[in-house]
Amino acid sequence: MEAVKQIDFTLNGRIGGQMITPKTIGLHLFNTFNHEVEEFIAGSNHGQAKDVRVAIEEGSYRLAALIPLALASLVERDLQQLDRPDSLRAIDPKRASVIRKWQAQARKSEEFSVRIASVDAGHPPVVVSRASDFHTPDENEWVRVEEYVIGTLFDMGGTSQVNVHLRLPDGSQLVVSTSEQYLRDQQKNLLYRKVQARVRSEKNLKTGAQRNPQLLAIIGEAPSYDEAELNASIAKGTAAWADVPDAVAWVREQRGGERE
């Protein structure tokens, strides 16, 4: 029998309020995660994982992969690189793609994480979670910002995760984390109303992407106006001043020629 090395892939999270285990994992998630593990092990050479054997073990959903040594050495090399958050460019592109998928999922769900641990390895496990930030060196352009956001509050609450859902003016949705106590303290029902919310998040200076939004406060109902009426007034004013070549000079003349 060919010599192998064991590398464990552990999926943590919840399904319907229950922790993910070999008995609670759904078929779709089972297939998706197993396929992603296969992609990570194989890397850019898809056929390399054909000789990998697996066993499902207790401990959340843990997939123990028994990998031939030649392939395991390539996986190990990339795992060692992942001790730095800005290492995605240094590892196999396919493995980097899988890490990105898990990182994106972790940012959507606080309890989602994937732990990759080599048995008898001299390096710590790699953990992809909401707290991790794997990226390439040129992607590390995230800054913390606070801003006011206007949107329609169409959902709020939750069981394992408490958040509010805002529908923004462009039709997109923003899910902002909050606390049970904050929602409990609200005296006015603003559900299905346009509100102004103060939100803290991390924003990418290069792409404008937003992550980890947290609700600081709901200020109240947002000021509103009739956009059609505003545009009509602008058009009316533009037409009225169409024959005035220099509006500033005209106003100055009406003031008796005074100078600023």
CA 192 to chain centre: 25
pLDDT tens, position by position, 137-157: 777 677 889 999 999 999 988
pTM: 0.58
Query: Is residue 117 domain-shared with residue 34, that is, in the same domain?
Result: yes
Q: Give a yes or no: residue 127 inside a domain.
A: yes
pLDDT tens, position by position, 197-217: 999 998 877 667 778 899 999
Query: Is residue 66 domain-shared with residue 112, that is, in the same domain?
Result: yes
Q: Give a yes or no: residue 87 inside a domain.
A: yes
Whose tokens are 């609670």? That residue is 24
What is the identity of the amino acid at 9? F
Q: Report which of residues 15 and 234 the model is more confident about.
A: 15
Give the rounded percent of residues in the chain with a pLDDT score beyond 90: 45
Query: Is residue 105 domain-shared with residue 24, that is, in the same domain?
Result: yes
Q: Give a yes or no: residue 55 inside a domain.
A: yes
pLDDT tens, position by position, 87-114: 899 999 999 999 999 998 888 887 899 9
Number of domains in the chain: 2
Q: Give a yes or no: residue 255 inside a domain.
A: no
Query: Is residue 99 domain-shared with residue 213, that is, in the same domain?
Result: no
| Cα 5 to Cα 120: distance, rounded to the nearest angstrom | 9
- Burial (Cβ within 10 Å: 0-12, 13-18, ≥19) of residue 194: middle
Which CATH number belongs to the domain containing residue 168 in this structure? Answer: 2.40.50.140
Query: Is residue 113 domain-shared with residue 152, that is, in the same domain?
Result: no
Domain span including residue 200: 142-221
Query: Is residue 89 domain-shared with residue 200, that is, in the same domain?
Result: no
What is the identity of the amino acid at 130? R
